């Protein structure tokens, strides 16, 4: 999973999200360093803190998506990006990969379709991939 935050206490939001991932989805077995990056896809004065984590889970991809969205809401995210319209947010959690599964649903695509375009995703991901 990829995590990003550019509002509020960004580092704390990332750490709280990782804690909740461990509690609601499954143990986090690998975690990247935190990376500060410029916004991607929109203009903002607020820089991001990004990270990637690998979690062990017995949940289905759909259940993981529901859990990540619950975590986002718990941490104050009230609006999702749609149609390429991005905005500032206290937390963003994206499912990048799920074992070797491929999912192609309107609201869930795995592998994440844009991860290879985003250095702020690839750099942390490269730290945790075995």
- The number of helices, as runs of H, and strands, as runs of E, in the chain is 3, 7
Which pLDDT belongs to residue 82?
56
pLDDT tens-digit map of 49-108 = 999 999 999 999 999 999 999 999 999 877 666 556 677 889 999 999 999 999 999 999
pTM of the prediction?
Answer: 0.91
What count of residues does the chain have?
130
Rounded to whole angstroms, how far apart are CA atoms 17 and 15?
5
Rounded to whole angstroms, how far apart are CA atoms 76 and 110?
25
Which pLDDT belongs to residue 13?
97
- Range with the poorest average pLDDT among 7-16, 18-27, 114-123: 114-123
Q: Taking the chain, what is the end-to-end CA distance rounded to the nearest angstrom?
A: 14
Confidence of residue 35 (pLDDT cuts 50, 70, 90): very high
Rounded to whole angstroms, how far apart are CA atoms 113 and 33?
23
Rounded to whole angstroms, how far apart are CA atoms 105 and 110?
9
Say yes or no to pLDDT of 109 above 80.
yes
Which pLDDT belongs to residue 104?
96
CB < 8 Å & 24+ apart, contacts of 79-82: none
Which pLDDT belongs to residue 70?
96
Say yes or no to pLDDT of 26 above 70.
yes
């Amino acid at each position: 999973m990829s995590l990003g935050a550019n509002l509020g206490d960004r580092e704390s939001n990332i750490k709280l999200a990782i804690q909740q991932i461990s509690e609601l989805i499954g143990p986090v077995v690998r975690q990247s360093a935190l990376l500060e990056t410029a916004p991607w896809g929109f203009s903002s004065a607020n820089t991001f803190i990004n990270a990637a984590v690998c979690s062990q889970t017995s949940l289905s991809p759909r259940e993981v998506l529901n859990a990540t969205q619950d975590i986002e809401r718990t941490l104050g995210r009230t609006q999702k990006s749609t149609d390429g319209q991005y905005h500032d947010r206290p937390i963003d959690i994206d499912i990048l990969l799920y074992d070797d599964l491929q999912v192609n649903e309107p609201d869930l695509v795995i592998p994440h379709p844009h991860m290879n375009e985003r250095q702020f995703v690839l750099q942390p991901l490269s730290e945790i991939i075995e």
